[in-house]
Structure 1
Amino acid sequence: LRGAATLKARRSCKINRLNGSAPVLPIEDSSDLPPEFDKNTSLLAQGTDLLVETPDAGDFKVRTVSMVLNKDGKVILKMKKHNLLRTKKECIVTNVHVELYKDSETEENNIEDTCYLIVLKTNIGDIKLDMADDYGRYKTWVTTIQHMLTLSCSSSFHTNYDLTFYNKN
């Protein structure tokens, strides 16, 4: 048992179909910044290794992914390849939604096998971040991204929020 919040979120999954196949999980919309927002923003700015599907590649590859809110109020996604040159790609995130899928490696039909795919609408197309079945990591990433997008659209962005973790470039 993973907790009441996990079960509630999984039960409230709407079976809206995107591209004809994936159920979409609604993201809680709250105008209040959670107390752990600064900590989570710092965590996303540091980055982590995730399976990523980009519009140009078409398949999932491991990338170091980080996300920052820059000084202009734009949410920037940074992806780095794992090679000698450490090639990186940056894009501007405009929207986010979550798709669910079942882990194909398990034969049982357990609710714990539900996996999360964060789909980001960017200026270069849809980018999918695979969170696998890690509900905690999924929840941290999706709520922080949602709050960053809310802040970036806010008319009082520059006056009301201290940009502690913004991109200085």
Structure 2
Amino acid sequence: MTNITLPAAVLAVAAFICSNSPSQERSNDPAPASNAAAAQKAPDKDSVKREIVSLANDIWDAAQQGKKAFLEDVATDDFESTDISGKTQNKRQAIADVKEEKAIKSWAITEPDLASFDESSAVLKYVLTVSGSGGRTIKARITDTYVKKNGKWYIKSQQQTLMK
């Protein structure tokens, strides 16, 4: 297996079912309208993590299968990527490098950690393990940044570091 096109994977932030309202107990005391509205909009960490990890998996699927249209749709216009070799690319450059990766036998996201999040942004850190059809396996520590616009998550940046 040669170079893995991870920028393409970074480019896909698909819309997923979003449950941003955690269930809360209500007291008999009425809360101020602004506090009630803020509580309803507060994102739930587990829900956001499931949503973002699912999107990251969809991005890697699309990158491996060469699905440029999907990646185009889920990346912000100002998307930036730094791959395992240190190469930096913008959205146009990263998508141009996407092709079907037949040399990849399997890949997996492990150790997902939603490092930070709010109603409009999230940072996901994880380990990506890629196994090639020739028996070679590599691992990279990935940090993805996502933004949410009009109820849809988009990938804004990705940083990849090869693990030894």
- TM-score in same-fold range (> 0.5): no
Q: TM-score, with normalisation over the residues of structure 1?
A: 0.32
TM-score, structure 2 length as denominator? 0.33
Q: Which has the larger radius of gyration?
A: 2
Q: Which has the higher contact order (CA 8 A, sep 6+)?
A: 2
